[in-house]
Amino acid sequence: MIAFFRKIRQKLLKTNSVTRYLAYAIGEILLVVIGILIALQVNNWNENRKEEVAQNELLTNFVVDLMADTVLLMDYESDLFAVIQTHKQLYLARKGILSFSEIENPQLIRGSIRYHSITLSNHPNIGTQVMDDEIRNEILDYYQFLARVDNSYLQYDNVVKETVRPYLAKNLALNPDFLFDNEKENKSPLDLDQFSQVIFQDDFGQVLFEANLKAEETMEFFEELESRNYALRILIKKKVS
């Protein structure tokens, strides 16, 4: 191609046709410019395509982790629901409406749950990586709510570890045989006979109130988080597809 244009240029020079030569030179320059612009456009298209593929992969992985978090949330809610039910049954037993033997899982008064977010752990900086403004803003809002959920859970966990468990130990309601004597039939971490008396103490009512308050608050946050998780997944799937 270069040799072809060189022959035309030499032919025009030999004929001393200045006008034709200038027109040819301008045309040749335009062809070069057009070629450069096309090359740049193709390069930009390739870069944009790579960026689109990278964004889709990032968001697809993010959605997978959101779905994993949803499965965990259902487990957290199930576990926390059982704890809240124990709180309610203990309250009814204190009021004489329910006998202590009818409480299904009294040991859950000292139990906590192990909450964490897979999404946040695997994608801590995704808010700075997503290009789509709508998705980025929704993710940032979601992460802000995650911080509130985490705070609520920590408050509940602290009540269990710093209030409930020390109270039970102080009132001799724990069962040492649970850990040290595998031959004992009583496999509860509580000394149920002692605990059945402790629940009627006035200060136990205060402990039960605080434990249930934080558990209920955390449950509300979990349910709201599950709803937000679903909405965010739907938005991302629409954009990616």
Q: What is the DSSP string of 45-69?
A: HHHHHHHHHHHHHHHHHHHHHHHHH
Indicate yes or no: pTM above 0.85. Answer: no
The DSSP letter of residue 124 is T
Nearest to 86 by CA among 164, 187, 171: 164
Helix 133-159 crosses helix 202-240 at what angle (to 10 degrees)? 160
What per-residue confidence (pLDDT) applies to 234? 96
What per-residue confidence (pLDDT) applies to 28? 63
Radius of gyration, CA atoms only, the chain: 35
Nearest to 236 by CA among 48, 47, 55: 55
What per-residue confidence (pLDDT) applies to 37? 66
d(CA 72, CA 226): 10
What per-residue confidence (pLDDT) applies to 127? 87
What per-residue confidence (pLDDT) applies to 62? 96
Over the chain, what is the mean pLDDT? 86
What per-residue confidence (pLDDT) applies to 8? 53
Low-confidence ranges of the chain (pLDDT < 50): none
What per-residue confidence (pLDDT) applies to 163? 97
What per-residue confidence (pLDDT) applies to 53? 84
What per-residue confidence (pLDDT) applies to 187? 77
Cβ within 8 Å of residue 60, ≥6 positions away:
240
What per-residue confidence (pLDDT) applies to 182? 65
Helix and strand tally (H, E) in the chain? 8, 0
